[in-house]
Structure formats: structure tokens, C-alpha cells
Amino acid sequence: MAADDDATAPAELDSGTRGEEEEEAAAKPLLSPPSAPAASTAAPAAQESPEELDRRYAPYARRDAYGPMGRGPLGAVETARLAVAAVLLLPLRVLAAVLVLLAYYVVCRVCTLGVEEEREGGEGDGYARLQGWRRDAVVRCGRALARAMLFVFGFYRIREHHRRVAHAEDEDLGKSGYLGRPGAIVSNHVSHLDILYHMSSSLPSFVAKRSVARLPLVGLISKCMGCIFVQRESKASDFKGVSGAVTERIQRAHRQKDSPMMLLFPEGTTTNGDYLLPFKTGAFLAKAPVRPVILRYPYKRFSPAWDSMDGARHVLLLLCQFVNYLEVVHLPVYYPSEQEKDDPKLYASNVRKLMAVEGNLILSDLGLADKRVYHAALNGNSLPSALHHKDD
């Protein structure tokens, strides 16, 4: 993949201007969800073999040396390697990670001294409107320390590519000068490490549960990043909801240069990195330009993808792997056409098709409900109740 300077994306993908890309996307395998409702297929899914489940729920299947849910049998060599890393590498990495977290907490504490936290209708803007040296210090230190954290996790070198979209017109190159900056970054979702990378790249804001704001260390950091804190159980009359808060923040970032962009994962859950799920429309309701970013995690033994494994086991195995790899493709800013502005579903669909073509990703119709059924089946359960759990 060649690294090129950013160019402005075409306004829309239609049969007239993006025929080749459309045909390429259409040629990719398209997975169909189970024909019956997910809840009713949970019981038969639990009776299928692991191989059948992996084929049926391919976007969530692990194909590394550790197998489904990280519980597969390991050979003697891999077991010995894991034991050595757990004794020698794991403690050092945990200590280093804590030190990096503490360092950024100190920076955020200093930058918020004498600054009153903003609150709106119970949601809370935190310190999203920090300005001057305070905002500069939060951004510069945040990006540097997020990269340091990735280094601690074994990502010693990250390959980044800035790609032009094929057949972009020369006259489009100057669009960014009069159409404004993107209000959001839209990315495929593969791992919890995705957020760390985006922090190191641009330190955007993102949506988090209200409880995150009360966590030690992480709470203040997330407020300084301008995260939107959501309390789903709120019944306040002025509660705007996730969609309204995100739309407002994207519009603000689009208009104001000093306002942090929003980071959104339109798929709504993680995959194994080879697939692209249907996009939700939340990132596209603001009618503002977006910057698509594609993340891939090449691996030899353990996949950093967080697909069918519990969080604690995933972090443990990740820290015990000597080297991890990350490749990033930055696509040009996507400026929506008037038709896309009026139709968020069309806007989301066109951006998704573009990302699938440029990232060589397979389009899939599966969603979060199917992922829960797959996880329940791997655990030997028929759990239709899994469909009622909170989102990932």
C-alpha cells in the first residue's frame, strides 16, 4: 500500500461516479444473518460444532493459535513461551502501563486546576471546552502518552498509510478549505486498543457510560478528552439522548477548530478485523464531513482482535505477546452530497462501501444480536436472554 497525501473524497458513491468501487464491493462475499430471529436460533446454534459456528458467525470467529474464546489447546512451545512472558514480561508491562496512566492523570489534574467542570442536563461536558495552554497540554501529552501505552503493549511500530481515493477529481482537492474540517472520525472496530491508537493520532472524544466519569484516574482523563457521558436510565426532561448529544458535538467540532472531533465506531461492536458490519447512522445525522479510518491487526500467534474472549483474558494474553502489529489506513475526508445529508442511511452506506473497498474488508449483515448468540453457543448455552444484555 502506498502512502499518499490526503485528498478530498468524492461527494457520494453512486453508479455514475463510483461504478468500479461499487462492483468491487458487490463482488465481496456478503454474509447473511440467520433466517430465523436471533433469539429463536440460539438453541440450535448451541448444538452446532465449533467449525459450523465459526462459519456461520465468521465476523466474530478467532483463527489464531488460542482458538475460540482463547481457550483452545496450546502446544508445548506456545505454552512455554506464554509461561516465560507471564513471569518476565507481564509484570514489567503492567508497571509501565500504570506509570503512563498516572503521568497523564497528573497532566490532566494540573490543566484543570481552577477550571469549573461543565454540565448540561445531567450529561456533563467535562472539560471539553478547555482552551489555550490547558487544551494544548492535554492534547500533546495525551497523544504522546497514548503512543507510549501502545509501546508498552508491544506495538513498537505502527504502519500508517494516507490514501487517495481512486479517480478523485483535481478540483476536489481544495474542498477542505471551504467545507470545513471533519466533525467525526469513523473507524471499524476490532479491539479496545482502537481507542488508544486514535488517542495517539488525534485525541478525539468518544461516548462512554456515565460510570466511567467516576472511575479513579480514568474519570478525569475522559473528562479532559471531552467524552460524552451517557446515563441510559436518566428520565430527566432535558435528557437529550445519545444521538442528540453526539450530533451536537459533531456539529461543534465541524464549526470550531479547537473543539475535539468525535470518534465513533458505526458497527456498534467489535469483529475479528476481516469484516465490516452494517453501520448505525449516529455518526451521520449531523450532516458534517467525516474522516474514515481503517484498522488492521496482523498477527502470528495471538490476535489482538477482541471478538469472542472476555476482557481480562484478552488483556493478559496481549501483554504476554512479545510483539504486536497494527496497520492503519487513513482515507480522505468524506464530504456528503446534499442527497446524503438528507438521508443518513445513504450517507452511512456509502461510507461503509468505500471503507470496505479501500480496506479489503468483507461486508456482512450480521450484528450485535448475532454476536451474543454466537458467544452463548460457544459457552454451551441457549441464552435468548443474552439478547437483552447491554451493548458492548
**Residue range 312-338: mean pLDDT, rounded:** 93
- Tell me: the pLDDT tens digits for 229-245? 876 555 443 445 678 88
Q: What pLDDT was estimated at residue 200? A: 96
Q: Residue 116: which residues within 8 A CB-CB, separation 6 or more?
A: none
Torsion sign (Cα): 59, 4, 184, 21: negative
Q: What pLDDT was estimated at residue 382? A: 56
Q: Residue 239: which residues within 8 A CB-CB, separation 6 or more?
A: 121, 122, 123
Q: What pLDDT was estimated at residue 307? A: 80
Q: Residue 356: which residues within 8 A CB-CB, separation 6 or more?
A: 25, 28, 276, 362, 363
**Residue range 61-79: mean pLDDT, rounded:** 84
Q: Which stretches does DSSP call E strand in the chain?
A: 158-162, 184-187, 207-209, 228-230, 262-264, 275-276, 290-296, 326-330, 362-363
Cβ(332)–Cβ(7) below 8 Å = yes
- Tell me: the pLDDT tens digits for 73-132? 888 888 899 999 999 999 999 999 999 999 999 999 999 988 887 765 444 556 767 788
- Give the residue, 252 or 209, on which the prediction is more confident: 252
Q: Residue 256: which residues within 8 A CB-CB, separation 6 or more?
A: none
Beta bridge partners of 138: none
Q: Record the pTM.
A: 0.80
**Residue range 150-170: mean pLDDT, rounded:** 79
DSSP letters spanning 290-341: EEEEEEE---SSS----SSS-HHHHHHHHHTSS---EEEEEPPPBPPPHHHH
The pLDDT mean for the chain works out to: 80
Q: Can you tell me the distance from the alpha carbon of 338 to that of 145, in angstroms, rounded to the nearest whole number?
A: 40
Q: What pLDDT was estimated at residue 45? A: 54
DSSP letters spanning 218-240: HHHHHHHTTPEEE-TT---TT--
Q: What pLDDT was estimated at residue 11? A: 42
> What percent of the chain is modeled with pLDDT above 90?
47
- Tell me: the pLDDT tens digits for 335-350? 999 999 999 999 999 9
Q: What pLDDT was estimated at residue 64? A: 86
**Residue range 353-381: mean pLDDT, rounded:** 89
- Give the residue, 71 or 37, on which the prediction is more confident: 71
Type of residue found at 291: R
Torsion sign (Cα): 307, 309, 311, 313: negative
Rg (CA), the chain: 21
Q: What pLDDT was estimated at residue 165? A: 61
Is residue 328 packed enough to be buried (19+ CB in 10 Å), middle (13-18) or exposed (0-12)?
A: middle
4-8, 182-186, 207-211, 311-315: range with lowest mean pLDDT: 4-8
pLDDT at 207 exceeding the cut of 80: yes
pLDDT at 14 exceeding the cut of 50: no
- Cα–Cα distances in angstroms (integers) from residue 222 to residues 126, 252, 278, 302, in the given order: 8, 18, 28, 29
**Residue range 161-181: mean pLDDT, rounded:** 58
